[in-house]
Homo-oligomer: A and B are copies of this chain.
């Protein structure tokens, strides 16, 4: 009797080296350049609109004005080849791994922004305060969990 070959482990995405993000919306802000933007939303950032792309609008169903959400952005002006930085661009502070800083320059420049929902329309949301600049793509939106340590 011929020995059966050991069944191959099913191929999943874990064997690949990356994945493709699909933008679900874009930030519309009075902040036009990185140099204008505060480093964190709590540091004097304005409110902004998030235009949601038509395919994703259904995913807003149930969202409530006044709630806190986490907006995940793709910081498209960032450098992806930087692994160490001076925190807050302060050269007196030692070079630090980007996973131990909030620098926008990092291998996958995903921004996390905790904001309050101000207004909801057919095509998007007004939220704030948020330091992301005009044109920044949005990749996800999540509620803040009251029962979790997460936020």
Could you tell me which A residues sit within 8 Å of B by CB distance? Answer: 12-14, 16-24, 26, 40-42, 55-56, 58-64, 69-70, 72, 74, 76-77, 80, 83-84, 94-102, 106-108, 110, 112-114, 135-137, 139-143, 145, 147-151
The answer on a CB contact under 8 Å between B61 and A148 is no
Report yes or no: A59 in contact with B42, Cβ–Cβ below 8 A. no
Q: Once bound together, how far apart are the Cα atoms of A113 and B151, in whole Å?
A: 10
Contact present for A62 and B97 (CB under 8 Å): yes
Further contacts, 11 of them, CB under 8 A, given A12-B77, A107-B140: A14-B137, A19-B76, A22-B108, A40-B145, A59-B98, A61-B97, A62-B94, A72-B108, A99-B142, A102-B145, A150-B151
CA of A78 to CA of B138 in the docked complex: distance in angstroms? 19
| Most central of A20, A58, A94, A149 by chain B CB within 10 Å | A149
Interface pair A100/B14, CB less than 8 Å apart:
no
Among A41, A114, A148: residue with most chain B CB under 10 A: A148
A-B contact pairs, 13 of them (CB 8 A): A19-B20, A19-B74, A22-B80, A40-B147, A56-B107, A58-B83, A59-B83, A61-B100, A62-B96, A63-B99, A72-B110, A110-B139, A151-B151
